[in-house]
Structure 1
Amino acid sequence: MTAVRVLILGVVAGLSSFGVDFYLPATKALALSFDSEVSAAGLNVSLFFLGIAVGQFIGGALSDAFGRKKLLVVALLVFIVASISQIFSSTLGLFIALRSIQGVAGGALAVVVTAIICDENDVRGTAKLLSQTTVISIGMRFIAPMLAGYLVAFVDWHALPAIVSILSIACLIFVLFHIDETLPAAKRRRRSLVHSLQDIWMILCNSRTRIFIAIEMCCSVGLFAFVTGSAHHFIENYLLSSTEFGYVYSGFTVVLLVAVFSNQWLVTKFGIALMMRSSIPVQLFFASALIFTARFFEPVLWLHITLLAGYLASAFIIRLNATAAAVKSIPEVQGTAASIISTISFGVGGLIGVQMTLLSGVTTYALEYLIFASSVFLFLYFLLCLRSRAFNQ
């Protein structure tokens, strides 16, 4: 796969995550513009997440039935129309509805990109290219809040959907001319709802796929706990200002980039199996160190950040490789498999967000407890799976 195609697919896949972080700084401006509460304006992000989950759930099956490129083009068109329409929204309700539609399209885009990569590569190549597209997505997320904050402060919130519209139109043009169909008509599976449900059941009944989905879920618990709880954790427990927290969060983004680059090289050299065997114990070490130092030593900020960075890097590497292995385990329905995994991941993320809110009111160690619990469960499950032929295939 050429560098241009990887770049295009990375940006297309990153539109959904970009659509989350890019709109966050505009929450207060939206509330003022529509004369509503800030909490009500924040629903645009919540429903965008819900839209992503729906798009990921249906996107894989539709791409298996009608082809990758067709769905990619249709989803981009929907994303563009929803983005442009937001500029002319007259009420907050209409804006939120358009954001949810935008999320559905963004979720479908992410799943189809994964399916395209899987179509053209073996397990090792899939993991490597998923790492490369993830680098691009993380880079977009790193830039998004800073750029959005500048636009909201010096222009207006209307500039945000305008920028997103321009970016998605550029993606559509490049997709039309540089991305080929990777699923021939002879291999497509146009299925009824009953048959689609049968495909989902087949995926969940595949022992190898089920193992790696479970591993991915365990990593998602810790990663989403960090995303949803890190602001409260650092600002309340370590008394950081919002600006200081922004620098810390950007630093963690850099850590994830380093982890992705490292995974590209390590997977190519050693393969997914060895990466999983080594990364899972490393993850448990950092999770254990986090909870131990937090409970008994009240560590200084730099030590806590170092341990948390080690956990995030190892968990992210495990999640990337588990996703690649799970999708490649069902070659007949890779698109559906990719959508199921992504939907489960976002479902776990939503539940963890609620759990973080509940636990934060009870203990100051909510983040550490969730990370440690998920890491211990993953390690025990990993030991159990080591004897399984499905894991070692």
Structure 2
Amino acid sequence: MTNRQRAQLVLVLGALIAIGPLTIDMYLPALPAITSGLETTETAVQLTLTGTLVGLALGQLLIGPLSDVVGRRKPLLAGLAVHIVASVLCVFAPDIAVLGVLRVLQGLGVAAATVVATAVVRDLFSGSAFARIFSRLMLVMGLAPILAPTLGSALLAWTDWRGVFAALAVLGGLLIIVAALKLPETLPVARRRRGGVRATLRDYRGLLNDRAFVGLVLVAGLAMAALFAYVSGSSFVLQQQYGLDEQEFGLAFGAGAVGLIAATQFNVRLLRRFTPQQILISALIAGTVFGVLLIVIAATGFGGLGALLAMLWLVLAATGLAMPNAPALAMTRHSEAAGTAAALLGAVQFGIGAFSAPLAGLFGTGSVPMAVVIAGGMAAALAVMLLVVPRAALRDTVDPELAIGLH
């Protein structure tokens, strides 16, 4: 694969992965407006975020195995079409219940983009090469969390929250055109899975019997829980507790995403000197320590908003180091069923994220509940990494760099 082909692939796959964060994050500045506009509660509005994450989790469990059977392109294009339709219907949602259901459908649609993009990377790369490409993808994907709240805030300056969903429909339409024209099929017929539902269940059973794989998937999911606790709680904390307006919130949220992106790109340099598991363990230790300090700052008010944002930045940076390496270690173990493995990985990540998103809201929308969930996610991920994932299995996981190339 030439450098130009690799760059184009990273851009296309990055755009596919980005539609998920855009769908999740773009309406965040509008959460208080949706609460008042639909005459509902803050917890109910946070559950619309949970609905998207549930759709992402369930959709990946279905689409991942399907992509191993019929190839990557067909499920991808069908999923993007579902996302477009659901986004259009969100514009006309009459109440919070309908909006919640449509957000689940949005999640089901973007699940195709998430799982297919990950499977395509595993079709073409392995081991440290996978981690490097995934880090590059997170650079492209990382623009989404930065731009999404800012774009949402800009839209809210001249339209209401329904206009955000109209914009998501337009973005989905552009992406389905790009995917149809620029993404080749990376799974040839000879490598596709056969055997129907029974074979799919056998694949899932094989994955679940691999203790190292399950442990690494849980680590990735718990790190994602910390991230989504920030995503779901920051809008209320920064706007209601600290008095930021919608535009200021977009800038503050983007600053956190900068930390996440910077860490994922620094990970590429670290991989030249350290193994993925060394980086992962170090990142989880750092994230746990920073998470505890975040609780202290939130509880005491020490340093005010500046200290809170700085500690959030450090926690997100630690998460940015963990997020490429846990999936790389997990996915390298099962190249024979990359779609199914990516589906289980994504389902656990977004499933745990769906649980963590409203968890802080159940105990209030202040900074302390958000900080506790963030720190708890990082601490639990570290515990799983140290207690569940066998060290010997990790030594066998890191393959030499492999670039299979486009088929």
- TM category (shorter chain) comes to 0.7 to 0.9
Residue identity opposite 1:280 in structure 2: L
1:105–1:121 CA distance, 2 compared to 1 (3 A)? same
Aligned to 1:247: 251
Q: Paired residue for 1:298, among 299, 302, 312? A: 302
1:160–1:128 CA distance, 2 compared to 1 (3 A)? same
> Is residue 282 of structure 2 the alignment partner of residue 278 of structure 1?
yes
Aligned to 1:37: 39
d(CA) in 1 for partners of 2:261, 2:9: 20
d(CA) in 1 for partners of 2:171, 2:382: 41
Q: Paired residue for 2:271, among 244, 267, 274? A: 267
8 Å contact kept, 2:60–2:111: yes
d(CA) in 1 for partners of 2:251, 2:350: 26
Q: Shift in Å at residue 106 of structure 1?
A: 0.5
8 Å contact kept, 1:385–1:391: no
Q: Shift in Å at residue 186 of structure 1?
A: 1.4
> Is residue 154 of structure 2 the alignment partner of residue 150 of structure 1?
yes
Aligned to 2:400: none
Identity, in percent, stands at 27
1:304–1:270 CA distance, 2 compared to 1 (3 A)? same
1:75–1:232 CA distance, 2 compared to 1 (3 A)? closer
Q: Shift in Å at residue 268 of structure 1?
A: 4.3
Aligned to 2:334: 330
> Is residue 226 of structure 2 the alignment partner of residue 222 of structure 1?
yes
Residues matched between the structures, number: 388
Aligned to 1:318: 322
Aligned to 2:186: 182
1:340–1:231 CA distance, 2 compared to 1 (3 A)? same
d(CA) in 1 for partners of 2:319, 2:49: 25
> Is residue 81 of structure 2 the alignment partner of residue 74 of structure 1?
no
Q: Paired residue for 2:373, among 370, 373, 389? A: 370
> Is residue 391 of structure 2 the alignment partner of residue 388 of structure 1?
yes
Q: CA RMSD, aligned part only?
A: 3.2
8 Å contact kept, 2:54–2:354: no
1:197–1:282 CA distance, 2 compared to 1 (3 A)? same
Q: Deviations over 1:213-263 (max 9, x none)?
A: 1322332332222223334445666x3434554433221111111112111
Q: Paired residue for 1:167, among 167, 171, 176? A: 171
Q: Deviations over 1:111-149 (max 9, x none)?
A: 110000111001212222222222222212322233233
8 Å contact kept, 1:215–1:319: no
d(CA) in 1 for partners of 2:33, 2:288: 42
Q: Which runs of 5+ in 1 are unaligned?
A: none
Q: Deviations over 1:354-382 (max 9, x none)?
A: 43123448x96333433444444444444
Q: Deviations over 1:300-357 (max 9, x none)?
A: 4433433332222112211221012112211111111111111112221222234312
1:288–1:277 CA distance, 2 compared to 1 (3 A)? same
d(CA) in 2 for partners of 1:255, 1:69: 33
Residue identity opposite 1:303 in structure 2: A
Aligned to 2:348: 344
d(CA) in 1 for partners of 2:93, 2:306: 47
8 Å contact kept, 2:150–2:250: no
Aligned to 2:130: 126
Q: Which has the higher contact order (CA 8 A, sep 6+)?
A: 2
d(CA) in 1 for partners of 2:258, 2:240: 23
d(CA) in 1 for partners of 2:235, 2:88: 31
Give the TM-score, by structure 2 length: 0.82
Q: Deviations over 1:36-83 (max 9, x none)?
A: 425577765443333222212212111111101222222223333444
Residue identity opposite 1:366 in structure 2: P
Q: Shift in Å at residue 7 of structure 1?
A: 1.1
8 Å contact kept, 1:114–1:338: yes
71-80 vs 112-121, which moves further = 71-80
8 Å contact kept, 1:83–1:164: yes
Residue identity opposite 1:257 in structure 2: I
d(CA) in 2 for partners of 1:190, 1:152: 49
1:69–1:283 CA distance, 2 compared to 1 (3 A)? same
d(CA) in 2 for partners of 1:23, 1:297: 28
8 Å contact kept, 2:18–2:140: yes
1:378–1:24 CA distance, 2 compared to 1 (3 A)? closer
Residue identity opposite 1:173 in structure 2: I
Q: Which runs of 5+ in 2 are unaligned?
A: 397-407
Give the TM-score, by structure 1 length: 0.85
